[in-house]
Amino acid sequence: MNQDDEISRRLRVIMEESRTAFDRAAQYDNTIIGAGYVGFFALWAGIVRDIPRWAAAGSAALIGISLIAYVIWIILQMLGRHWASVGTNKLLEETNIFAEDFPGRWEQASSEGHARLVKTMRLWYPCFLASLIGGILGGGLLAIVAAAVAIRDLLG
């Protein structure tokens, strides 16, 4: 195996390991976030009869907003990945990878895909804020009202 082949092999291994690590981290994040939503609604369902209607509706609405923002972000990520891969997939379908101009065309297609992905990433911050603020406010409201109900029942 010559040096260029070895470099290519090592780069493929590095890229695959990086992709695998990123995918696992994303799966872990999604699992934790999903468990948080499930946990909130489990707690909410257990206490909803004991708290005022405004608190039950308010906390569910706030967490609902958080959940909707999170789902919108997940859908935008899916679309972003699709849009980012369109050019490179088309290039692979239509071009001989051994052609002399392939590396330049690959770089151009990758750059265009990256630019599309960056456009999608601009929407991350509003989705993140809506999800974070809705989640904190909804969970906080439920916790405070539940604590007040527990104290009231304990004292009297």
**Residue 107, domain member (yes or no):** yes
Nearest to 59 by CA among 127, 128, 135, 147: 135
pTM of the model: 0.72
**Residue 99, domain member (yes or no):** yes
Look at residue 99 and give its three-state secondary structure: coil
Per-residue confidence (pLDDT) for residue 1, from 0 to 100: 65
Non-local CB neighbours of 41 within 8 Å, separated by 6+ positions = 63
**Residue 110, domain member (yes or no):** yes
Q: Could you read off the pLDDT of 53-65 as tens digits, one per residue? A: 999 999 999 999 9
**Residue 9, domain member (yes or no):** no
What is the rounded CA–CA span in Å between residue 24 and residue 77?
16
Total count of domains within the chain: 1
**Residue 109, domain member (yes or no):** yes
The winner for highest mean pLDDT among 53-57, 83-87, 113-117 is 53-57
Question: Would you state the structure tokens that stand for residue 33, as one six-digit string?
Answer: 């976030």
